[in-house]
């Protein structure tokens, strides 16, 4: 055998080994004769396309195997490769003997002979697993996007240079910037001065020193919208490293509504304190008027009696004494009249009544009267019937009653093992709404129940004994009544009634 023949034989053997190695890896090879449109396929290619080992194939046969939805795209890609000498890289689906379609990827290029493009050669491989992974990845991305689109907190991802790489839908709504406008911009555009000019230095300092000032620690800062307006935000920052590059994720909550709510609660609390003091003063004035009127009447009577006893006296100063005692009696009567008028004024005091939502009153009163309840382990259960929600009341006064009941309940449950507080409402007779506040505290002893609503009676060491008395007076001034019960399972239940809003007012409020 000549050296040339031996070399040719070795080359053929090497080509067969290469082909076997490629086939064993699951990669098929193919060759398209551009002149005859005939195809030469390796065994692996035929297996991937579902064609028998001895079946003749040409380009039309190949196209018929491609999924109908992909045929035009495949033929156009092959034609562009032939006309423009481009590389071929296409993904398509084929059906194998009635089985579900599976994905293949073909890559190739032109091979020239005698100066002309005679063949289009390449490889083909199965990419079903790749497509499954891509589909799962898209599903996860869509799920993540759906979550980020629905959560109220904004999420922004920046790289180590402060450039925004992700901008959630909540961030778009919060800052007034679209995702397209934000991506690629420095995060400092969302900050007012001087924070905006300092931010890059913060990142640089952290990269150099590793000293954390805000990462992992939430804090309240100021954000700036697209229109230049600023607003308070709560910012929490997380960190991650991907492909050697550091990224930071910011979770942002708009505190505008929260601060407005806090301001309103402080305002409401101030109103309640003011009205509570006025009501307490009125209640005490009424009680004092009742208590002082009797001794003043007795003083007047004693004065008159003393004058009669002095009538037969021969004392030279008798006229002066009688005159002084007469004046004293007049002043005692005058004091009694003043106190009676004060009592009448307090009793006739009118409040400003409007149609109010009972659920809203309970919610606002709970924000004030139940501060720290959850930290104490108290379970709160509010069951408010929306069908019987509107009442005709003075908002601040009824909230004063609710706050007083809530605070009393918390104090009563301070040492209880089971701590549950509930509030509910229900319609009762005569167009009245009954409100119930129940606790699991120590309950009401029988000897206390009769005196519970008396002025200046209290079971607390530091109490004044006017809270429940004022509360009952407020409820009665609204045309309702208030009473207390001891629960069979322990604890106390306070009930009071309020007038339901008239039909025309209900319609207007809706």
Question: H/E/C letters for each residue in 426-492?
Answer: EEECCCEEEEEEEECCCCCCHHHHCCCCCCCCCCCCCCCCCHHHHHHHHHHHCCCCEEEEECCCCCE
| pLDDT tier at 132, thresholds 50, 70, 90 | confident
DSSP-assigned states of every residue in 243-264: TTEEEEEEEEEE-HHHHHHHHH
Q: Which domain holds residue 228?
A: 151-256
CB of 247 closer than 8 Å to CB of 157: yes
Of 423, 402, 410, nearest in space to 376 by CA: 410
Query: Best-predicted range by mean pLDDT among 68-72, 132-136, 273-277, 302-306?
Result: 68-72
Q: Within a domain: residue 427?
A: yes
End residue of a domain, out of 201, 236, 256? 256
| Token pair belonging to 67 | 């999924």
Q: Is the pTM of the predicted complex or chain greater than 0.85? A: no
On whether both 77 and 168 belong to a single domain, the answer is no
* Unique residue bearing structure tokens 């034609």: 79
| pLDDT tier at 504, thresholds 50, 70, 90 | very low
Task: List CB contacts of 161: < 8 A, sequence separation 6 or more.
Answer: 186, 200, 203
pLDDT at residue 238, as a whole number? 79
On whether both 158 and 105 belong to a single domain, the answer is no
DSSP 8-state secondary structure symbol assigned to residue 58: B
Output 368-371 pairs: Cβ under 8 A, ≥24 positions apart.
368/265, 368/268, 368/269, 368/272, 368/399, 368/403, 369/402, 369/403, 369/404, 369/405, 369/406, 369/407, 369/410, 370/406, 370/410, 370/421
β-strand partners of 119: 33, 111
End residue of a domain, out of 94, 125, 149? 149
Residue 441 burial by CB count (10 A; 0-12/13-18/19+): exposed, middle or buried? buried
CB of 376 closer than 8 Å to CB of 403: no
CB of 117 closer than 8 Å to CB of 108: no
| Token pair belonging to 78 | 């092959």
On whether both 315 and 384 belong to a single domain, the answer is no
**Is the model's pLDDT at 274 over the cut of 70?**
no
On whether both 200 and 301 belong to a single domain, the answer is no
End residue of a domain, out of 256, 287, 317? 256
Q: Within a domain: residue 2?
A: no
CB atoms within 10 A of CB 467: 23
On whether both 49 and 60 belong to a single domain, the answer is yes
| pLDDT tier at 422, thresholds 50, 70, 90 | very high
Residue 92 burial by CB count (10 A; 0-12/13-18/19+): exposed, middle or buried? buried
Q: Within a domain: residue 1?
A: no
On whether both 178 and 300 belong to a single domain, the answer is no
pLDDT at residue 506, as a whole number? 41
CB of 480 closer than 8 Å to CB of 498: yes
Q: Within a domain: residue 403?
A: yes
* Unique residue bearing structure tokens 């994720």: 249
Phi, psi of 230 (to 5 degrees): -110, 160
| Token pair belonging to 399 | 């909230």
pLDDT at residue 510, as a whole number? 36
The C-alpha atoms of residue 384 and residue 242 are separated, in whole angstroms, by 51
Could you read off the pLDDT of 320-354 as tens digits, one per residue? 777 777 777 766 766 666 666 655 555 545 567 88
CATH number at residue 217: 3.30.450.20
Residue 184 burial by CB count (10 A; 0-12/13-18/19+): exposed, middle or buried? exposed
Could you read off the pLDDT of 217-271 as tens digits, one per residue? 678 888 888 888 888 888 888 788 777 788 888 888 888 877 777 676 677 666 6
**Is the model's pLDDT at 454 over the cut of 80?**
no
Share of the chain above pLDDT 70, in %: 73
Q: Within a domain: residue 502?
A: no
Instruction: Please list the alpha-helical segments (H only) found in 210-255.
Output: none
Query: Measured between alpha carbons, how far is residue 372 from residues 224, 264, 419 in Å?
Result: 33, 19, 13
What's CA 291's distance to the chain center, in Å? 54
The C-alpha atoms of residue 234 and residue 229 are separated, in whole angstroms, by 17
Of 199, 193, 231, 230, nearest in space to 214 by CA: 199
| pLDDT tier at 275, thresholds 50, 70, 90 | low
On whether both 250 and 144 belong to a single domain, the answer is no
Q: Within a domain: residue 505?
A: no
Q: Within a domain: residue 338?
A: yes
CATH number at residue 487: 3.30.565.10
Could you read off the pLDDT of 351-400 as tens digits, one per residue? 678 899 999 999 888 887 887 788 788 899 999 999 999 999 988 888 88
**Is the model's pLDDT at 499 over the cut of 70?**
yes
Query: Measured between alpha carbons, how far is residue 455 from residues 151, 286, 288, 345, 422 in Å?
Result: 52, 10, 10, 18, 26
Share of the chain above pLDDT 90, in %: 14
On whether both 19 and 125 belong to a single domain, the answer is yes
Query: Measured between alpha carbons, how far is residue 399 from residues 193, 346, 475, 501 in Å?
Result: 43, 20, 11, 17
Mean pLDDT of the chain: 78
Number of structural domains found in the chain: 4
On whether both 188 and 132 belong to a single domain, the answer is no
**Is the model's pLDDT at 150 over the cut of 90?**
no
On whether both 280 and 313 belong to a single domain, the answer is yes
Residue 343 or 422, more confident: 422
CB atoms within 10 A of CB 290: 13
Please report how the helices 467-477 and 256-309 are oriented relative to each other, as an axis angle in degrees rounded to 10: 100
Q: Within a domain: residue 219?
A: yes
On whether both 433 and 473 belong to a single domain, the answer is yes
Could you read off the pLDDT of 7-31 as tens digits, one per residue? 556 655 565 666 665 666 678 889 9
On whether both 249 and 138 belong to a single domain, the answer is no
Question: Alpha-carbon Rg of the chain, whole angstroms?
Answer: 45
């Amino acid at each position: 055998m000549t050296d040339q023949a031996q070399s040719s034989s070795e080359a053929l053997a090497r080509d067969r080994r290469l082909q076997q190695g490629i086939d064993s890896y699951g990669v098929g090879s193919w060759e398209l004769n551009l002149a005859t449109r005939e195809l030469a396929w390796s065994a692996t290619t035929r297996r991937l396309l579902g064609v028998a080992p001895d079946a003749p194939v040409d380009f039309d046969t190949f196209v018929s195997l491609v999924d109908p939805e992909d045929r035009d795209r495949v033929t156009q890609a092959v034609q562009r490769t032939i006309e423009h000498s481009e590389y071929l890289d296409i993904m398509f689906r084929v059906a194998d003997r009635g089985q579900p379609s599976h994905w293949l990827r073909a890559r190739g290029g032109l091979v020239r002979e005698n100066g002309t493009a005679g063949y289009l050669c390449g490889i083909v491989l199965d990419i079903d697993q790749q497509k499954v992974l891509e589909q799962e990845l898209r599903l996860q991305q869509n799920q993540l996007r759906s979550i980020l689109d629905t959560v109220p907190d904004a999420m922004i991802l920046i790289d180590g240079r402060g450039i925004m790489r992700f901008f959630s839908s909540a961030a778009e709504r919060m800052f007034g910037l679209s995702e397209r406008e934000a991506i690629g911009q420095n995060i400092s555009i969302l900050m007012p001065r001087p924070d905006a000019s300092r931010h890059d230095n913060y990142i640089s300092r952290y990269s150099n020193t590793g000293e954390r000032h805000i990462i992992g620690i939430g804090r309240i800062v100021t954000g700036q919208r697209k229109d230049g307006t600023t607003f308070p935000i709560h910012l929490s920052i997380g960190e991650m490293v991907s492909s050697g590059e550091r990224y930071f994720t910011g979770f942002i909550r708009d505190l505008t509504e929260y601060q407005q709510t806090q301001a309103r609660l402080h305002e409401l609390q101030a109103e309640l304190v003011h009205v509570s003091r006025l009501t307490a003063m009125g209640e005490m004035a009424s009680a004092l008027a009742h208590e002082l009127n009797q001794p003043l009447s007795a003083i007047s009577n004693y004065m008159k009696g003393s004058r009669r006893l002095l009538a037969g006296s021969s004392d030279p100063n008798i006229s002066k004494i009688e005159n002084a005692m007469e004046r004293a009696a007049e002043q005692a009567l005058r004091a009694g009249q003043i106190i009676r008028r004060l009592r009448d004024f307090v009793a006739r005091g009118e409040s400003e009544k409007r149609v109010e939502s009972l659920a809203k009153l309970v919610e606002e009163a709970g924000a004030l009267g139940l501060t720290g309840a959850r930290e104490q382990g108290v379970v709160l259960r509010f069951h408010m019937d929306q069908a019987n929600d509107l009442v005709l009341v003075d908002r601040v006064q009824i909230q004063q009653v609710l706050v007083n009941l809530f605070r009393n309940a918390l104090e009563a449950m301070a040492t209880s093992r089971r701590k549950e507080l509930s509030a509910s409402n229900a319609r009762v007779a005569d167009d009245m709404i009954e409100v119930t506040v129940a606790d699991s505290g120590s309950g009401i002893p029988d000897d206390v129940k009769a005196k519970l609503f008396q002025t200046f009676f209290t079971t607390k060491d530091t109490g004044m004994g006017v809270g429940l008395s004022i509360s009952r007076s407020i409820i009665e001034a609204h045309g309702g009544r208030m009473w207390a019960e001891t629960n069979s399972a322990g604890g106390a239940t306070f009930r009071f009634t309020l007038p339901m809003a008239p039909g025309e007012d209900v319609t207007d409020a809706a």
